[in-house]
Amino acid sequence: MSEQISIYGTLVSVQGEGVLMTGEAGIGKSEIALSLVKFGNKLIADDNVLAHRTDDIIIGTCPSTTYGFAELRGVGIIDVHEIFGQSAIIKHSHIDLIIHIENWDDNKVYERFGDKEEFQEILGVQIPCYNMPIRPGRNASTIIEIIALHNRAKKSGAYAHKKLSKNIEEFMLENERNQKN
């Protein structure tokens, strides 16, 4: 059996991408996970993710005692299976990306272009990592779903910032040619 570690976070399969949400206690990981599940995504583990390595893949699962449950502050323990049905929970998933959720800080400069990639190591495997600042009014579950789809696109070689840069470069060259004529 390979080495296993416990990670404080919530793991959801979002459009087939294993998304590990991390952040301080009470930041809203479980709430975001339940919102994602409501829209057809799958909960793997809430608060305690067990991770092990298989080749160059990190697999996340849930301790058997808490499988299918999530904690919602102010409400208590939620039986995800009972509320959303068996299809809302799965036993394990690859961990394809990490989203670190933090409170919005007006003094911090956040990534806006996407050309800087960050990674976090889990059991010797580098996993893409995104920092997601939240504040009232932001739809965190939609943003996470977009990040998951964006990550999938990057794995297939589609980099939005590169495409945009190329479009701008072609536009500027065309403009320059038109000004010469």
Does the pLDDT of residue 1 top 60, yes or no? no
Closest C-alpha to 141, from 30, 22, 8: 30
Does the pLDDT of residue 94 top 80, yes or no? yes
State residue 30's pLDDT score. Answer: 96
User: Where would I find the H helices in the chain?
Assistant: 29-38, 80-84, 140-155, 160-180
State residue 14's pLDDT score. Answer: 97
State residue 173's pLDDT score. Answer: 81
Q: End-to-end CA distance of the chain, in Å?
A: 70
The CA distance from 75 to 61, in Å, is 24
Contacts of 115 (CB under 8 A, 6+ apart): 161
What rounded mean pLDDT belongs to the chain? Answer: 92
Contacts of 28 (CB under 8 A, 6+ apart): 101, 134, 140
Strand, coil or helix: 29:
helix
Strand, coil or helix: 62:
coil
List pLDDT tens digits, range 98-156.
999 999 999 988 887 777 889 999 999 999 999 999 988 889 999 999 999 999 988 88
Does the pLDDT of residue 66 top 80, yes or no? yes
The CA distance from 179 to 163, in Å, is 24
Check residues 55 and 116 and name the one with the higher pLDDT: 55
* Domains along the chain with CATH numbers: 4-180 (3.40.50.300)
